[in-house]
Amino acid sequence: MVTFNDKMYLFGGTNGFQWFNDVWCYDPTTNLWSQLDCIGYIPVPREGHAASIVDDVMYIFGGRTEDGADLGDLAAFRITSRRWYTFQNMGPSPSPRSGHSMTTVGKSVVVVGGEPSSAATAVNDLALVYLLDTTKIRYPNDSQIQSSSQRAVQVALLKELDAARNRNAWYASELELARKSGYTPNASLSPVLDSRAAETFDDDDKPLIEALIAMRTELANVQSSVDKQAVLAAKQIAEAEKQRDAAIQEAVYAKAKLAAHMGSAANSPQLDNDRENDERTGEISRKLATALNTQKELQNALDRASSEIDAERRARKLADDTVNAAQRRMTELESYKQQNSSELERLKAELHMVQREAREQSVVAADATAAMQLLRVERDDFQAKFNDAVGSSKGHSETFDSLREAVAASANMKSLLERKLEEERASREKVETKLAKLKTEHEARTAELRELIVKQYWQD
């Protein structure tokens, strides 16, 4: 259900027993529901579908049929013209689903979520968001709104057109009916059908259908012209025959009268009657000559009309052959289309799988790129630390070299000091030895001195 111009519009649904594909409008000002008479390609009955509106166009997608099968078609209903449109070749579309969400964002329609008709689906894309850009959709220009009676007739005719899905069979049956009816000029069922017949076909089939319609219209025009000429020739022939009958009657009358006069008395004077009979005979002769000339002209016209009819019949036969060939071609195209529909669905499924894998791979690639960026930053950090370590190691090497030189100088100094220490020890030992010797001599001299002093004391 959508809203437009303060009114609500409802499409489809179910009451539990019957599935619908009609459109209803609710006017809150009058508090009344009204069913809309729609034209165009009306979608199949469904429930569980989703709807959204962009400008004056209501878009319908998905839903579930009475058999329980999910739908994946997209349809558009133009509220102002009450016409349905269907779409083909709109790019990768969502998988068939029901109970999904459909929202309008600006000029775009967003589809997400829903559920499939079966538990296992070939393409699990229910979590993906699909975007339909409605600005790229071009709708045909709508004609002016006609009166209600004309619109009702037009709606009925277009509904009849939508019911005739197999257009080739329609042409074949129509041509057969035309042949059986003697090529009547009003053999067309409806000019509206002829002018709008190509709308129910694909874009690839429209040129062929338009050519068939143009050929059929041309044949109808030729048949109408031939019929008019035949009617005119028949009228002229009837007039000539009427004049001929009148001339024959006059000739019979003249002959009878002449015989009567010749059988009467020959001696009586009849100059006036003879003169009148001569004039009547001349007039009858002139009328007879005129009638014969007219009959000859009409016979020539009839021969020309017969030749034109033969040419038209040959052209009609050629057109029938062309239509039959086109019908066979359309049948082949239809069978080819049906054969390729399953292949197209399989390719769509594979495309969805590839797109999903591509998205997964893109996520993995994004994660790998982020990890690579982190590793690159860590590498740059380690490179800076390494450069600092290399610089500091060079400084340490220089320090170690200076320390080695200092250690070597210290070792030399140590050796020198050890030699001096040994020399000092040796000189000390010599001095100590000399000191001990001097102490000994001192003690000896002291003892001698003491003895001398004692002796001197004792001597005194």
Task: Report residue 184 CA to chain centroid gap.
Answer: 42
**What architecture does CATH give domain 167-363?**
Up-down Bundle (1.20)
Name the class of domain 2-156: mainly beta
Contact 54, 109 (CB under 8 A): yes
Measured distance CA(152)–CA(146) in Å, rounded? 10
Domain ranges in the chain are: 2-156, 167-363
pLDDT at 24 over 90: yes
Tokens of 385: 């630390």
Cβ contact 185:229 at 8 Å: no
Q: Please tell me the predicted confidence (pLDDT) of residue 60.
A: 94
Once rounded to an integer, what is the mean pLDDT over residues 305-310? 81
In the numeric block, the tokens 């025009």 are attached to 221
198/206 Cα distance (integer angstroms)? 5
Q: Check residue 329 and give its pLDDT.
A: 79
Share of the chain above pLDDT 90, in %: 18
Given a cut of 70, is residue 274 above it in pLDDT? no
Answer whether residue 192 shows pLDDT above 60: no
Express each pLDDT in 201-237 by its tens digit: 455 555 666 666 777 777 777 777 777 777 777 777 7
- Per-residue confidence band for 169, with pLDDT thresholds at 50, 70 and 90: low
> Residue 403 and residue 395: Cα distance in Å, rounded?
12
The 3-state DSSP class for residue 342 equals helix
| 165 contacts: CB under 8 Å, gap ≥ 6 | 200
The single-letter DSSP state of residue 69 is -
Output DSSP code: residue 53.
Answer: E
Contact of 7 with 29, CB cutoff 8 Å: no
**8 A C-beta contact, residue 46 and residue 65:** yes
pTM over 0.85: no
Average pLDDT over residues 33-45: 90
Give the chain's mean pLDDT.
78
Higher pLDDT, 426 or 260: 426
Torsion of CA 242, 245, 246, 248, to 10 degrees: 160
Report which listed range, 74-83, 233-242, 433-442, is most confident.
Answer: 74-83
Residue with tokens 């049929």: 65
**For position 188, what pLDDT does the model report?**
44
Token pair 């292949």: residue: 343
pLDDT band with cut points at 50, 70 and 90 for residue 54: very high
- The residues near 304 (Cβ < 8 Å, ≥ 6 apart) are none
